[in-house]
Amino acid sequence: MTAPLLTTDDLTVRFGGHVAVDAVTCAFHAGELTAIVGPNGAGKTTYFNLISGQIPASAGRVTLNGQDISTASVSTRTKAGIGRAFQMTNLFPDLTVLENVRLVVQAKAGRGFNLWSMVTGHADLIDQAEDILARVRLLEERNQIVSELSHGNQRKLEVALLIALDPLIYMFDEPTAGMSVDEAPVVLDLIADLKAQSDRTVLLVEHKMDVIRTLADRIIVLHNGALAADGAPAEVMASDIVQEAYMGRGLEGVLDHV
Amino acid sequence: MSDLAQTGTTGDPILRIEGIYTNIAQYHILQGVDLHVPRGGVTMLLGRNGVGKTTTLRSVIGHWRAHRGRILFDGDDITRIPTANIARAGLGFVPEDMGIFADLTVEENMVLAAVSGPIDPARLDWIFQAFPPLKTFWTSEAGNLSGGQKQMLSIARAMIEERKLYLIDEPTKGLAPAIISTMARALKDLKDQGASILMVEQNFAVAKALGDTANVMDDGRVIWSGEMAELAGDPTLQERLMGLSMEAK
Amino acid sequence: DIKIAHVYGKTGPFEAYAKQSHDGLMLGLEYATGGTMEVNGEKIVVIEKDTQLKPENGKALLEEAYGDDEVDLAIGPVSSGVALAMLPVAEEYEKLLIVEPAVADSITGSNWNRYIFRTSRNSSQDAVASAIALAGDNVHIATLAQDYAFGRDGIAAFREALAAQGHEIVHEEFAPTDTTDFTAAGERIFNAMKDLEGEKKLFIIWAGGGNPWAKINAMDPSRFGIEFAGVGNILAALKGFKDFAGMEGGTYYYYELPDNPVNDWLVKTHFERFDSPPDFFTAGGMAAGIAAVEAIKKAGSTDTEALITAMEGMEWETPKGTMQFRAEDHQALQPMYHFKLRVEDDVEWAIPELVRELSIDDLPIPVRN
Amino acid sequence: MIRTLLSGDLPRSRVLALLLAVILICLAFAPFLFPGVRTVDTAARICIFIVLVASYDLLLGYGGIVSFAHTMFFGMGAYGVALTSTHMGRGFDALAIGSITGAALAAVLALLIGLFSLRVRAIFFAMITLAVASAVAVLVSQLSGLTGGEDGLTFKIPRELGPAFKFGKETFDGALFGVKLNGKLLTYYLIFGGSALLFLALLRVVNSPFGRVLQAIRENDFRAEAIGYKVVYYRVTATCLSAAIAALSGSLYAIWLRYVGPDTTLSMTIMIDILLMVVIGGMGTIYGAVIGATLFVLAQNYLQNLMSVLSGMTEGWPLLPELLSPDRWLLWLGVLFILSVYFFPSGVVGRLRGQR
Amino acid sequence: MSTAPEHSPTMARSSVTDRLAPYAPLMLVPVLAIAGLIAVQNPASWLTLTVSGLAMGMMIFLMASGLTLVFGLMDVINFGHGAFVSVGAFIGISVLLTLGHLTNAPSLGLNLLAILAAVLAAMAATAVMGWAFERVIVKPVYGNHLSQILVTMGGLIIAEQLIIVLWGPEEIYFTRPEALKGALTFGDAAIEKYRLVTVGVGLAVFAAMRFVLRRTKIGLIVRAGVQNGEMVAALGYRLRLVFIGVFIAGSALAGLGGVMWGLYQEVITAHMGNQAMILIFIVVIIGGLGSVEGCFIGALLVGLLQNYIAFVEPKLALVSNIALMVAILMWRPMGMIPVVKAK
Ligand SMILES: Nc1ncnc2c1ncn2[C@@H]1O[C@H](COP(=O)(O)OP(=O)(O)OP(=O)(O)O)[C@@H](O)[C@H]1O
Ligand SMILES: Nc1ncnc2c1ncn2[C@@H]1O[C@H](COP(=O)(O)OP(=O)(O)OP(=O)(O)O)[C@@H](O)[C@H]1O
Ligand SMILES: [Mg+2]
Ligand SMILES: [Mg+2]
């Protein structure tokens, strides 16, 4: 098998006494879509935070393409190819939709430190940004101020920013939460496309089982911060740990009976 | 649309929204919403993103103000009274963004939510059963909770005291299946205690399982209302109203 | 018309001083013209300009006065910093500026030019007067002053004046200008003085807030036999000195100290008009007003050169008796007063009582320009 | 052409465009439109404060960084010119060297402060700048041998820039439209030209990709970092740039006044004035600086005159003349502040552009 | 009903330093006092300096407490706080001056009675003023720090000018009530009587504030309201009323601080409050925005350090406060006891 694109070795973080991520060792390969599941508070978002550098690890290492990036800053990791969308919508609220995406494209193009040219002179960046908005079907809203978007559209924009960044590692944290059934497929199709691009790795945190079933190549389960299972979807979904801790054994039918 | 009266529950509705129009800045968001929430049942409010579901709930609690139309709660006109008074009249609210006080601990969030006095320990136990992490993180800052834990806290806050009507905006987003089930249980308990619930939900499975009546919105209006079972049993209707294409679980 | 500009900090922290200064000036003009407000048959017009205590404003306003309003001479300002910024303007426009009541030595010292006259006393005059008042055999003097140029210059002048009498300071204490708690300074002074024999005096020069006298007094310096000394102050400040009966020092003015017709008129008129006695800066303003009128009379015109010639060496009567513009640096030499505080129940403030009038000849004020 | 000059950032409001044009014309022809020492002095101050305020807005309005050291940088430029003019003798070389060294030193100091404090968090920067600025003010007061202490420094600028230098005797008979052609006039146009250049440069910077990143950082620095911008570098660069331009405006001020002193260039009062001008004009728009500085300097200079008129008119009424006395101008300035924040929360420019 | 599956997060033992961290600020005061003894050497001077430093700290705390309340709880930066201090001082001192028969009597009881009357009058006046301030000036700018700085500064200017209109531009000098003049001496050490009064008042206010904030919901409501006012209203609280109440309380505390400060200074000016503001801000910031305890400890530290430094090396006194602030912020960027996560 080829060398993994991203690995975490014994990655650990403690908040006071609480071990939120507990020595997680895992490798992710190009062209693979891994779903990360686990109960609320299992440490999924925190695991993402450690990979993208938002919080420093208490112990352990993160390597990208064989390079140790454990101590690198968030922006350095982003430039190196780690990109993520956030679970809690996290945008530039007073700027327009287009400007949000344009800023990402501009960062990607490395033109941020251009002090003496006019923004309007960089028409190519604007075109790129509009392309991406078209892909997530937000083009019509491009001149709207972000804080005035509905929740669902903000979630879409969150995804658009990540796509604009076009990193090696895509990390989605519950991308479709709060998206209506007719909107969610737009985003899910985009994710499926990414997977098809064989040189990218996608990590997906998601609670909707149907989504995981259709998209995931592999599932890892976090439980109380530790890696509890890792393997092919069908096998992992059937495992005790998932059935008990995640789906809630004895509760499967509840929804149908209340 | 007027077949609401025959939805199986008795008496006049606890909440009547009569033709409200709500603007946000220069945008006309709600354009004549009519909605009745019967006493003692779960009423679902469904629809695609951006059609005005959240705006409707916010108009009820008074965060946005309807400039036309009336909102009657338990027979009283609450269209223009201050939010705090609306809440004290017996409304519990779970906002879409959860409205967690991030710098307060879980405990402090709950203490605040118990408006009329100290927390009732029995009720708290009941909440802990539904949402165990709240017990574990009782003294942590709420801002540090995981996404799902925040959602639990938000719902728990609304449930800490008995309310006549709960307004709940997308409670299941970000919750693991096991928790969704227990939450559904908790909401059912509420209903059994005689409370009424008006709930926005994108997860159709949950809507189907919990809802007694349903209302579908589009473009700032309610375009369909009726029994939840009727909607659940009619895929073409779903397709027409909400663009549902994926098979509901 | 004869136009006189009064450029001073009407608004800001020195508002009270400014008002006195202006009232004094107007009274001076009135007195010197016998109530007609006319000299040589021409009407005197006073134009007021507010520097807001900002040097750049002082400068611009003086330029405006000379350039646009075409005044014949200008008087002011309250603060030394503003005055120093204004000095070159007078030179540039070749017009007179009578400085009143700013006190920095350098105004008639290193930064002086020949268009500058000053009627107010300078810091050295305060210091020398106090030194003469306080010095004596077997008297130990410690000082407390603000730690910046004015405080240090004041103490240096005081030290020099003491040295001229053959005495020295036993301890010099400097505290930051914004000090509010003087416990530490007090302790340091007490520690330096407590083992000395003989009379012990603490000489304080302090401008603005902070009120070090009251604070150190609350530490009970009499335990160590230490008494206070200081320079005079305005009436409002003297109200805080009712616990300091017996304190001695040198002062510039208190309305009961001088004995001359000008002062009699001033006190009487001031009581009539304002129902209160004239204060420090009222006397100064009046001296400046009279000086202006006398100079114009003597020069016969408002031509600048004629005025300079007339004023160099000019002697004129003020509420403080006769003053004289020294020809070398245009500083007004004037009497000062050695006082001792007395307290009376029905007077709101502590009364500086005359010990001795220090005449011009008693005061060796150095020329430093 | 105008578009490029304005870096594509057009006023976007007819009233605003008109206002700006009026201000530009008044400033450009001030000596001819309003002859008089005081009025020209006011115009020059407006020019200088426009640049100073605009440079502060780069930091505050675009970068979201609160600094209390802006007057310190302003003062560094001013003292630079004063010191070189004092020690090198009057001359244009002294002015140039003073301005450039002042700006360079300001940038270096800003770099140090920025690297030290902006790493931690933005509010830290506010505290540290407050501390450094007050320490520098104390230093200037203590080093009175070099800086003149509280009294400041008075110095001479080249003769060509003084009122004694006359020109155009033959062609214009020494006067144009009744205005004397002298060095003072030249100084005014030096100030005006310098300010205009610096202003246009700032306008360009805020409309460059860099300026947009600053805005993004202000909105959400966390996310800006997460899309690959090194937030510290951008903040530090903005700080240095803003410091250097503030220093240059300080140099212009010193040239105009031929005097520097701590109260004139370093004081906290001026810092607060700058803040007010930014907010009155409108944060996050460089045009706000023009409006804010103009209104504020005019109010500072002429409010008193207006009040003495009003006070005269209300003679005999109870309390009113007392309140309207010119000595109470600060009172009304306070009222004006409050009203302007009330009615123009996004500044005059924001209001004219139709924001909240 | 069936219960959700049990999840128990993994816990590790936290280190000793972690557990001691919250108490570290408390230790600073005694540590500083001991360091002071070593530096000062002379025990009598040390005692004098220490007691007066603590008392000075109490006075700063009195003036700052209202600010930290408003700043911390409501997230309102009130640059006009100094105006309340000034107004408090003017009202209080005016009352004292009319009660000459009480203040001139050499009886501690009568003197304290006069002071009590002055304090009550000052607090009442500043409370009313606070109410007006909140309604007119602060209300439109909740949540916007910069506008707050500006409008409150405008309010400050107006208040100072009104003081000048009402009381005239001159500073007002006066002397303290008879029984509070002078000092108690122990050997060579002297402890001012008035400072002992301030210690008493300071401790009382501190205890009262702690009680209200810990034992009632008011603190919670306000803190929550700052983060998300809509949600607090949706829970059923009239946030406006609580906000006004807190602002009024903060203003009244400033008024109290003003009287105490005026009595200490024995001279009052319209600008006195504003002049104290830098010190007040330093204390509030190093304490941790909004922390009453932090403000208290910070004030004591400032009072003590100022005295020790001024005694040992007066030149450094200029920068001692700023150095303290920088040092504490380097150690804890949010202040010693951070309460509200300031942006
Ligand atoms: N603050 C605001 N300013 C302007 N427009 C707004 C604002 N908030 C919401 N809107 C607009 O109002 C419309 C309805 O929004 P609302 O949040 O009620 O939708 P929703 O039905 O709850 O959608 P979702 O399922 O995405 O939450 C949307 O088009 C949205 O863009
Ligand atoms: N900064 C922090 N300080 C203290 N505890 C934290 C912090 N961040 C996260 N935690 C805790 O770590 C645990 C894991 O949180 P995390 O957000 O990673 O959960 P998650 O798996 O993403 O859950 P969800 O599905 O609900 O989003 C939670 O119990 C949370 O309370
Ligand atoms: Mg999560
Ligand atoms: Mg919604």
Domain with A112, as residue range(s), is: 90-166
Using DSSP's 3-state secondary structure scheme, residue D344 falls into coil
Selected residue of E41, E93, E171, E272 to mutate for chain C interface (largest C Cβ count, 10 A): E171
Read off the pLDDT band of B245 (50, 70, 90). Answer: very low
Whether A10 shows a pLDDT value over 90: the answer reads yes
DSSP string, D203-243: HHHHTSHHHHHHHHHHH-HHHHHHTT--HHHHHHHHHHHHH
Tell me B11's DSSP state: S
pTM: 0.83
Looking at the structure, tell me whether residues A182 and A256 fall in a common domain.
Answer: yes
Please tell me whether residues A203 and A216 are part of one structural domain.
yes
E323 pLDDT above the threshold of 60: yes
Query: Residue E222 corresponds to which amino acid?
Result: V
- CA dist., res. C237 & res. C251, Å (int): 13
Q: Are residues A56 and A101 in the same domain?
A: no
Hey, what are A194's tokens? 């990414």
Looking only at the bridges linking them, the beta strands covering E189-192 and E183-186 are antiparallel
Counts of helices then strands in chain D (DSSP H, E): 19, 4
Q: B166 pairs with which residues across the strands? A: B92, B197
**Residue A67 and residue A4 in one domain:** yes
What count of other Cβ atoms lies within 10 Å of the Cβ of residue D355? 13
- Asked if ipTM goes beyond 0.90, one says no
Ligand 1 within 6 A of CB of A151: yes
| pLDDT over 50 (residue E309) | yes
E146 near A CB under 8 A: no
| Res E7 pLDDT > 70 | no
Cα separations (Å) of A233 from B61, D185, E319?
44, 82, 65
Tell which atom from ligand 2 comes closest to the C-alpha of A55: 1
Reply yes or no on whether the pLDDT at E339 is more than 80: no
CB atoms B102 and E4 under 8 Å: no
A166, A191, A225 - which closes a domain: A166
**Pairwise CA distance, residues B98 & B168, whole Å:** 10
Among A166, A199, A232, identify where a domain stops. A166
Q: Which residues of E touch C219 (CB under 8 A)?
A: 48, 183, 190, 192
Residue E225 neighbours by CB under 8 Å, 6+ apart: E74, E232, E237, E239, E242, E243
Whether residue D237 and residue A113 make contact (CB cut-off 8 A), yes or no, is yes
> Distance between CA atoms of A30 and A196, rounded to whole angstroms?
10
Residues A139 and A57 in one domain: no
Position B249 pLDDT exceeds 60: no
Which of E2, E5, E18 minimises the CB distance to A16?
A: E18
The type of residue at A226 is A
pLDDT tens-digit series, residues B25-78: 778 889 999 999 999 889 999 988 888 999 999 999 999 999 999 999 998 999
Boundary of a domain, candidates A166, A183, A207? A166
Question: CA–CA distance from B241 to each of B7, B212, C154 (Å)?
Answer: 20, 18, 90
CB contact under 8 A, A207 and B209: no
- pLDDT < 70: residue spans in chain C: none
Closest CA to C254 of C320, C305, C301: C320
Average pLDDT for residues D174-186, to the nearest whole number?
81
**Using CA atoms, how far apart are residues C280 and C20, in angstroms rounded to an integer?**
8
Structure tokens given for B231: 């909607």
pLDDT recorded at residue D202: 94
Q: Which CATH number does the domain housing residue A65 bear?
A: 3.40.50.300
Write the residue in E140, E157, E342 that is nearest to D330 by C-beta.
Answer: E157
Q: Read off the tokens for C182.
A: 């003087």
Structure confidence at residue E64 (pLDDT) = 92
- Could you tell me the distance, in angstroms and rounded to a whole number, from the CA of residue A177 to the centre of ligand 4? 11
Across E210-234, average pLDDT: 85
Q: What is the mean pLDDT of residues D92-96?
A: 93
Rounded to whole angstroms, the Cα distance separating B165 from B158 reads 10
- Closest to C278 in 3D by CA, of C251, C253, C259: C253
When scoring E73, E222, E223, E235 by the number of chain B Cβ atoms within 10 A, the one with the most, hence best to mutate, is: E235
Q: pLDDT at position B144, please?
A: 87
Q: What does the pLDDT read at residue C239?
A: 84
Rounded Cα–Cα distance for residues D171 and A91 (Å): 64
pLDDT band at E264 (very low <50, low <70, confident <90, very high): very high
Of C11, C67, C81, nearest to D152 by CB-CB distance is C81
| Residue D122 pLDDT | 61
Q: Look at chain A and report how many structural domains it folds into.
A: 2
Cα D209 → chain centroid? 25
The shortest C-alpha distance from D307 to chain C (Å) reads: 13
Phi first, then psi: what are they for C231, rounded to 5°?
-90, 165
Q: Indicate which of D341, D344, D348, D351 best probes the interface with E, i.e. most E CBs within 10 Å of its own CB.
A: D341
Contacts of C218 in chain E (CB under 8 A): 181-183, 192, 194
Look up residue E290 and give its two tokens.
């909004």
What is the percentage of chain B residues whose pLDDT exceeds 90?
A: 47
Backbone angles phi, psi at D325, to 5 degrees: -60, 140
For ligand 1, atom 12, the nearest C-alpha belongs to B29
Higher pLDDT among residues E153 and C2, named by residue: C2
Interface residue E4 vs chain A (CB under 8 A)? yes
Residues A76 and A184 in one domain: yes
The verdict on A99 and A71 lying in the same domain is: no
Q: Is chain B touching chain C, with at least 3 CB–CB pairs below 8 Å?
A: no
Pairwise CA distance, residues D323 & D338, whole Å: 17
The span from the CA of C9 to the CA of B102, in Å, is: 51
Residue scoring higher pLDDT (C351 or D350): C351
Considering only residues 258 to 317 of chain D, which have any Cβ-Cβ distance to chain C shorter than 8 Å?
A: 258-259, 261, 263-264, 304
Tokens 């800052």 belong to residue: B141
- According to DSSP H, which parts of D34-143 are helical? 37-57, 70-88, 92-117, 122-142
Report whether C71 contacts C5 (CB < 8 A): yes
Are residues E161 and D328 in contact, defined by beta-carbon separation less than 8 angstroms? yes
Q: Determine the residue of chain E that is closest to C244 in CA distance.
A: E175
Q: Which amino acid is at E83?
A: A
CB A251 to CB B176 under 8 A?
A: no
- Reading the block at residue C93, the tokens are 């426009």
Confidence of residue B4 (pLDDT cuts 50, 70, 90): very low
Pocket test for ligand 2, best of A13, A45, A84, A203 (most atoms within 8 A of CB): A45
pLDDT at D157: 87
Residue E241 CB neighbour total at 10 angstroms: 11
User: D255 CA to middle of ligand 3, Å?
Assistant: 60
Please identify, by atom number, the ligand 2 atom nearest to the C-alpha of residue A20.
Answer: 12
pLDDT confidence of residue A242: 78
Q: Are C232 and C339 in contact, with CB atoms under 8 Å apart?
A: yes
Q: Are B20 and B70 in contact (CB under 8 A)?
A: yes
Mapping DSSP onto H, E and C, the string for E236-277 reads: CCCHHHHHHHHHHHHHHHHHHHHHHHHHHHCEECCCHHHHHH
pLDDT tens, position by position, B75-112 = 899 999 999 999 999 999 999 888 999 888 999 999 99
Give the model's pLDDT for residue C1. Answer: 86
Residues A172 and A76 in one domain: yes
The more confident residue out of E319 and E67 is E67
Half-sphere exposure of residue E179, counting CA atoms within 13 Å on the CB side?
A: 16
Predicted local distance difference test score (pLDDT) of residue B11: 64
Residue E3: pLDDT band with limits 50, 70, 90: very low
**Residues 8-47 (E) with a CB less than 8 A from some CB of C:** 42, 45
Which three-class secondary structure state does DSSP give residue C229?
strand
Q: Give the Cα separation of E78 and E86 in Å (integer).
A: 14
- pLDDT mean across residues, chain A: 87
Query: Does an interface of 3+ CB pairs under 8 Å exist between A and C?
Result: no
Indicate if A235 and A176 belong to the same structural domain: yes
Contact C11 D330 (CB under 8 A): yes
Specify the range with the lowest mean pLDDT, choosing from A198-212, B224-238, C136-150, D157-171. Answer: D157-171
Q: Is B101 exposed, middle or buried (0-12, 13-18, 19+ CB in 10 A)?
A: buried
What average pLDDT is seen over chain E? 86
Nearest alpha carbon to residue E145 among D331, D71, D123 = D123
Measured between beta carbons, the chain B residues lying within 8 angstroms of E339 are 103
Instruction: Out of C265-279, D144-158, D161-175, D306-320, give the one with best mean pLDDT.
Output: C265-279
Q: Comparing C-alpha atoms, which of D212, D287, D206 is closest to residue A109? A: D212
Q: What is the pLDDT of residue B196?
A: 93
Q: Taking 90 as the threshold, does the pLDDT of residue A88 lie above it? A: no
Q: Which two tokens stand for residue E336?
A: 């010693």
Query: How many residue pairs from chains D and E have C-beta atoms closer than 8 A?
Result: 82
Degrees to nearest 5, angle at CA A36 with A35 and A37: 115
In this prediction, residue E9 carries a pLDDT of 67
Tokens, residue E8: 């128990």
Residues A21 and A76 in one domain: yes
Whether residue A162 is found in the same domain as residue A177? no
Asked if residue D334 has pLDDT above 90, the reply is no
Q: Which two tokens stand for residue E166?
A: 């009402």
Per-residue pLDDT, A258: 42
Average pLDDT over residues E15-34: 81
Q: Who contacts D246 (Cβ-Cβ below 8 Å, separation ≥6)?
A: D52, D55, D56, D70, D73, D74, D77, D106
Same domain, A176 and A158: no
Mean of pLDDT values over B168-195:
86
Record: contact E7-B95, CB cut-off 8 A: no
> What kind and span of H or E run contains C357?
strand C351-358
